[in-house]
């Protein structure tokens, strides 16, 4: 019997991985907003900045995995990022214009 969302087990697993990694990145962002980039857990050696970089690397890996499997299009993701770079500028108050993405 097929699941109502018609996802295969591998598709479900890849999305679950992305969801988990994005949640971990969100958690670190919350810690940075509360305590700053250079803060660290009293028992830890990594700063919040280091942890965010690690978590975003995990998110990127999850995205690459989705693209490599054919679930998503890397080109469409890049196109969406380019459009966002153009449209978000008007709402930002403290940012320099975004650099063009590397290909």
Nearest to 82 by CA among 66, 63, 102: 102
The domains of the chain are located at 9-72, 73-103
The 3-state DSSP class for residue 101 equals: coil
The radius of gyration computed from the CA coordinates of the chain, to the nearest angstrom, equals: 17
Q: State residue 100's pLDDT score.
A: 64
**Considering the entire predicted model, what is its pTM?**
0.87
pLDDT band for 102, please (50, 70, 90 cuts). low
Identify the pLDDT of residue 97. Answer: 77
* CA separation for the pair 16, 26 (Å, rounded): 15
In this structure, are residues 85 and 98 in contact, taking their beta carbons and an 8 Å threshold?
A: yes
Buried b (16+ CB within 10 A) or exposed e, 81-98: eeeeeeeeeeeeeeeeee
Residue 88 or 3, more confident: 88
């Amino acid at each position: 019997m097929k699941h109502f969302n018609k996802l295969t087990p591998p598709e479900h697993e890849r999305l679950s991985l992305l969801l988990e990694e994005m949640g971990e990145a969100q958690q670190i962002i919350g810690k940075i907003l509360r305590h700053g980039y250079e803060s660290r857990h009293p028992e830890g050696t990594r700063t919040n900045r280091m942890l965010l970089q690690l978590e975003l690397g995990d998110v990127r890996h999850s995205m690459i995995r989705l693209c490599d499997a054919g679930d998503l299009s890397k080109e469409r993701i890049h196109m969406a990022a380019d459009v966002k770079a153009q449209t978000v500028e008007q709402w930002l108050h403290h940012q320099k214009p975004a650099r063009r993405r590397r290909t």
